[in-house]
Amino acid sequence: MTPMSQSQLEPAPVTSFIDAHSMQAVQAKWSRLTVADLAQVRTEEQLIDKVAERYSIPHDQACNDVRLGPTAGTDRQLVRAGGS
């Protein structure tokens, strides 16, 4: 058995939840979210909270929208649904 290097012992860095998705698709769907907003999102729940906040929509509606994914619907549909 070979000894582990220091880099093998360190935990993997936390990456943004959005890194796992297409950043362009996310920005296209939720254009009110800034790059800074998206850089802070680490979990699906944080994305839901950010969408609800930026679009002034109920948490349940943001939850459904996020769980449909960034390619379902458009920003324009969200604005209408949110009453803005």
Q: What is the pLDDT of residue 25?
A: 83
| Residues contacting 55, CB < 8 A, separation 6+ | 30, 32, 62, 78, 79, 82, 84
Q: What is the pLDDT of residue 21?
A: 54
Q: What is the pLDDT of residue 20?
A: 55
Q: What is the pLDDT of residue 62?
A: 96
Q: What is the pLDDT of residue 68?
A: 87
- In this prediction the pTM is 0.65
Q: What is the pLDDT of residue 13?
A: 46
What are the per-10-residue average pLDDT scores of the chain (84 residues)?
Answer: 53 55 80 89 91 97 90 55 49
Provide the sign of the torsion angle of the four alpha carbons 49, 56, 64, 16, taken in this order.
Answer: negative
Q: What is the pLDDT of residue 74?
A: 56
The single-letter DSSP state of residue 41 is: -
Q: What is the pLDDT of residue 27?
A: 85
